[in-house]
Structure 1
Amino acid sequence: MSIFHRLRNPCSWRNGVKQIPLDAIIPIFAVPLLAIIASKTIYTTLIVFVTCPIVVYHLHHNFLRFLPRSKFFLMWTITSVLMLMLVFEFCVVPLLEILPEENLVFIICVFGAIICGYKTRINTDKNCGNQDSTGLFDVATGSEEASSRVYYCRICQTSILGREYHCKWLDCCIGSSNLQWYLTCCLLSAVAFIYGSNLTMTSVCHPFILVGTVLLPDDCSDVYHQFDLALCFVSSVYSLVIGIVVVGYLIYHSWLIFKGTTAHERRLNNSNTSSDNGVFNGLSQLVCCQS
Structure 2
Amino acid sequence: MRKILIKIRERIRMAGGVKQISIDAVLPIVLLPLMFSVAAINFYFMITICIVMPLFLGYAQWLRKSFAPRTKFFFMWSLWSGIYLWILFEMTVPLMELLPEENFIFITTMFAAAFCFYKTRQKAADNYVAPKTDDIDSIRDTDQTRLLMDVEEVDENDDSKENSETDSDPCDFMMSKTNNVCPKCRRYIPPRAFHCRICQQCIAKRDHHSIWLDCCIGQSNHKFFLAGCFLAMFALLFGANLSMTSICHPFFVFRIFSISVLLPDDCSDVFDQYDIALCFVGSIYATVMAICCLIILVQQCYLILKGVTASEWSRGDINRNGCVMNLKTFLCCAR
Give the TM-score normalised by the residue count of structure 1: 0.84
- 2:210/2:217 contact within 8 Å kept: yes
- 2:207/2:217 contact within 8 Å kept: yes
- 2:64/2:70 contact within 8 Å kept: no
Structure 2: 5+ residue stretches without partners? 132-180, 318-335
Structure 1: 5+ residue stretches without partners? 140-146, 271-291
1:23 Cα offset (Å): 0.6
The AA in structure 1 aligned to 2:81 is: S
- The sequence identity of aligned pairs, in percent, is 40
1:136 Cα offset (Å): 4.6
- 1:124/1:173 contact within 8 Å kept: yes
Matched residues in 2 for 1:175 and 1:28: separation? 29
Gap change, CA 1:215 and 1:169, over 3 Å in 2: same
Pick which of 184-193 and 67-76 moved more: 67-76
Structure having the higher Rg = 2
- 1:9/1:18 contact within 8 Å kept: no
Matched residues in 1 for 2:112 and 2:276: separation? 27
1:205 Cα offset (Å): 0.3
The AA in structure 2 aligned to 1:88 is: F
The AA in structure 2 aligned to 1:228 is: D
| Residue-pair matches, total | 260
Q: Tell me the SS of whatever aligns to 2:235.
A: helix
Q: Which residue of 1 aligns with 2:29?
A: 28
Gap change, CA 1:65 and 1:76, over 3 Å in 2: farther
Q: Which residue of 2 aligns with 1:190?
A: 233
Matched residues in 2 for 1:79 and 1:57: separation? 18
- Once the two structures are superposed, residues 187-226 of structure 1 have per-residue CA deviations (whole angstroms, 9 ceiling, x without a partner) of 1100000010000000000000122321000000010000
Q: How does 1:137-148 map to 2 (within 5 A)?
A: 137-139=187-189, 147-148=190-191
Q: Which residue of 1 aligns with 2:84?
A: 83
State which of 3, 12, 19 in structure 2 corresponds to 1:9: 12
1:59 Cα offset (Å): 2.6
Q: Which residue of 2 aligns with 1:207?
A: 250
Q: 4+ runs of 1 displaced by more than 4 Å?
A: none
Q: Tell me the SS of whatever aligns to 1:209.
A: strand
Q: Does 1:245 align with 2:285?
A: no
Q: Which residue of 2 aligns with 1:56?
A: 57
Q: Which residue of 2 aligns with 1:229?
A: 276
Matched residues in 2 for 1:210 and 1:170: separation? 36
- 1:4/1:21 contact within 8 Å kept: no
Q: Which residue of 1 aligns with 2:46?
A: 45
The AA in structure 2 aligned to 1:9 is: I
Matched residues in 2 for 1:218 and 1:136: separation? 61
The CA RMSD measured in Å over matched residues stands at: 1.8
Gap change, CA 1:6 and 1:89, over 3 Å in 2: closer
Q: Tell me the SS of whatever aligns to 1:156.
A: coil
Gap change, CA 1:127 and 1:10, over 3 Å in 2: closer
